[in-house]
Amino acid sequence: MRIALAAGGTAGHIFPALATLGALRASGGPVEVRFFGPDNRGERALVQGHDVPFETIPAAPLRGRSPVALARGLARTALGVATALRAVRRFDPNVMLSTGGYGSFPASVAARVLRLPLVVFLPDVEPGLAVRAESRLATLIAAATEGALPRLPAAKAVVSGYPVRDAFRTSREDARAALGWSDGERVLLVAAGTQGARAINRAVWEALPHLCQAARVVHVTGSAAADEATAEREALPGELRDRYEPAPFRGDLPVLMVAADLAVMRAGASTLGELPAAGLPAVLVPGTFAGGHQRENARWLAERGGAVLLEEADMDALEGHILGLLGDDRRRAGMAEAARAAGHGDGAERLATILREVAA
């Protein structure tokens, strides 16, 4: 079986493709794969770390552009489609999996032109611009959650669940042991995304002494905030300094999520899969960019009891939410169960089966 993967833009779109590939490889039979997408946000390094050949396909975001930027984006997208047509034709896959984001669009168009089966995966509740466009081209659309179905063409939409990485399958006990944390220690994970989130970072720093008194604070800041985070750590009283662990990036984020007691996060493409897989209660602060799809993700999980939705305009309330939840074991336990119930633990296997059936 030869499978083409199309994604790009954020890790939240790439990780589901890689997790599904892992399930395909584990199910037996030879799998030849190639990735088609842009290489301007670290995509190549991430993909090649999973033994996947990478084909660079130009792409550009189109939403919210000025007229000049929109014209440039359209020109780059057209170049991407032409590049993808040549590259995909050479590879000659049996099926293409697109996991959304603007980086997936040129290759998905090429698949349609070449009359290849195209499976589009929607990680969010609300389809973004790329998925809405690709849904017209798709053979089948696989959604992370039932909440997305009313927004998709009913005749070709199914629920697969979100394909999560194998690292989420570790136990809380093993995760804590790997990190050197005791079972009874309270741990707050703040993950503002690979690009960082200024509003979240600043709100955490303002409350940092109180947060460190209540828990160990592991803070993934994004690279732009790394120096400021180091300064904030040095400004803490000596007895609290070791309870604050900032880092621009953590490759072991799945293990951190399984081991933590509470998270503060954005509500991007991985939210509906990774928080349920980890059984991690969260305060979700949706970004207001990219069409507001993060708000729909946060709302969906909050309505099911697995998270608290906090708008960025209300960040003054973040400290109160965090301290209240850290001090309420019963409520956190209920949120953890609700988060687990909102997910599908076999999303990667389901999507792998879909791909084999569509490619047959």
pLDDT of the chain, 360 residues: tens digit per residue: 999 999 876 777 889 999 999 999 998 889 999 999 998 777 888 888 888 999 999 988 876 667 888 888 889 999 999 999 999 999 999 999 999 888 999 999 999 999 999 999 999 999 988 888 999 999 999 999 999 999 999 999 999 999 999 999 999 999 999 999 999 999 999 997 655 588 999 999 999 999 999 999 999 998 889 999 999 999 999 999 999 999 998 989 999 999 999 999 999 888 899 999 999 999 999 987 655 789 999 999 999 999 999 999 999 999 999 999 999 999 999 999 999 999 988 999 999 999 999 997
**What does the pLDDT read at residue 64?**
63
- Provide the domain limits for residue 263: 167-342
Compute the distance between CA of residue 110 and CA of residue 112 in angstroms, rounded to an integer.
Answer: 5
Note whether 183 and 272 are within 8 A (CB).
no
Torsion, Cα of 75, 80, 82, 87 (10° steps): 170
pLDDT of residue 338: 97
Same domain as 350, residue 225:
no
Question: In this structure, are 208 and 263 located in the same domain?
Answer: yes
31 lies in the same domain as 159 = yes
Angle between helix axes 271-278 and 329-342 (nearest 10 degrees) is 130
CB atoms within 10 A of CB 264: 26
Kindly state whether residues 66 and 144 are assigned to the same domain.
Answer: yes
User: Do 211 and 171 belong to one domain?
Assistant: yes
Model pLDDT, residue 40: 77
Name the domain count of the chain. Answer: 2
pLDDT at position 101: 84
Structure tokens at 110: 């090429």
Helices (H) and strands (E) in the chain, counts: 16, 13
Asked whether residue 106 falls in the same domain as residue 191, the answer is: no
Q: Do residues 146 and 47 share a domain?
A: yes
CA–CA distance, 36 with 106 (Å, rounded to integer): 9
Residues 118, 190 within the same domain? no
At residue 50, the pLDDT reads 87
Q: Report the distance separating Cα 5 and Cα 108, nearest Å.
A: 9
Whether 86 and 199 map to the same domain: the answer is no
Q: Give burial (CB, 10 Å; 0-12/13-18/19+) of 35.
A: buried
CATH number, domain containing residue 284: 3.40.50.2000
One domain for residues 184 and 131: no
* Residue environment code for 205-214, b if the CB has 16+ CB neighbours within 10 A, otherwise e: bebbeebbeb
- pTM of the full predicted structure? 0.91
Whether 186 and 214 have beta carbons less than 8 Å apart is answered as yes
List Cβ neighbours of 184 (8 Å cut-off, separation of 6 or more).
Answer: none
- CA dihedral of residues 30, 164, 14, 121 (deg, nearest 10): 80
pLDDT for 196 equals 53
Same domain, 141 and 187: no
pLDDT of residue 181: 95
295 and 221 assigned to the same domain: yes
